[in-house]
Structure 1
Amino acid sequence: MKFEEIAAVSGKGGLYKVLKPTKTGVILESLDGKKSKLVVGADAQVSILSEISIYTHTTDGATPLKEVMEKIHSEFEGDTGLDKKSGPDELKSFLKHVLPDYDEERVYVSDIKKLVTWYNLLSEIAPSSFASTEEQNSSEEEVSTEE
């Protein structure tokens, strides 16, 4: 599963797989194991993970979420030891370790909780989503040549 296929819906917890667009919105499937389907209208705020970034003090001003998650995965390999109940100081120091130049004024503790929650969910159900784009393309090529 790629980051381009995963979405978050404002006001709803968890992550969703984008199934297909409709005339008035999009059909999503929850990634929480229940596989419940949800139809959201055009008025809902749906964010595709590949389009989300974290504010930083770099010249770009932000780092894509995918890069941050890949770094977390390379360092922690699926086990950060954190969850949404972790304390604010622990969450901030975690992000400071992973992304030293993050903007502490614009990235809130609630944002870091979401990052940790999303990472934990994806590392459990879709660890292949953390592979770099080059790795994903090469594995797709291998599958197509084997058929």
Structure 2
Amino acid sequence: MNLKDIASIAGKPGLYKVLKPSRTGVIVETLEAKPKKTIVSASQRISILKEISMYVTGQAEESVPLEEVFVAVKEKFGINKLDVDTKSEESLEDFIFAVLPSWDSDRIYTSDIKKLVTWYNKITEFYPEALEDKKEDEEASEEAAE
């Protein structure tokens, strides 16, 4: 899984693929049907998905990296668009419980779960290679080398 190239920008909807740094910030491209490139200034808050985690209870670590949550979603639902009713709080809670049974219901809000579903759907639609396993990539490159 490769989430180090995908970012969320505070105040802007959707996800962005980080292309390269510039003198004043970072050049990003929207994850949409018609991608648009833009420069995000260094003063804006950019969150790389690889650095985001979700709170859990009953473990030594109090959070699980978003990458591991996406792996659990992929194992449970595959690389398909998720069919979760994002308007129903009960549906969202059922989804997160199926994927992350030890989720902390006091610190993970319904809006966080909705964002998780939305992000996963965006990635599967516009950048599915980010969800591929690293081991599969390594095995493919080793087979090509032989």
TM over 0.5, shorter chain: yes
Match of 1:59 in 2: 60
Instruction: Tell me how far 1:142 sits from its aligned partner.
Output: 4.9
Q: Within the alignment, does 1:98 sit opposite 2:63 as a pair?
A: no
| Equivalences, count | 144
- Ranked by relative contact order (alpha carbons within 8 Å, sequence separation 6 or more), the top structure is 2
Deviation string for 1:11-58 (max 9, x for gaps)?
111111101101221010001122111211111110111111111112
Decide whether the 8 Å contact of 2:81 with 2:125 is kept in 1: no
Match of 1:8 in 2: 8
Match of 2:108 in 1: 107
Aligned-residue Cα RMSD (Å) equals: 1.9
Unpaired runs of 5+ in structure 2? none
Q: Within the alignment, does 1:123 sit opposite 2:133 as a pair?
A: no
Q: Kindly, what percent of the aligned residue pairs are identical?
A: 42
Unpaired runs of 5+ in structure 1? none
Q: Within the alignment, does 1:87 sit opposite 2:70 as a pair?
A: no
Letter in 2 for 1:73: K
TM-score, scaled to structure 1: 0.88
Q: For 1:74 and 1:126, locate their aligned partners in 2 and report how far apart those are by CA, in whole Å.
A: 18
TM-score, scaled to structure 2: 0.89
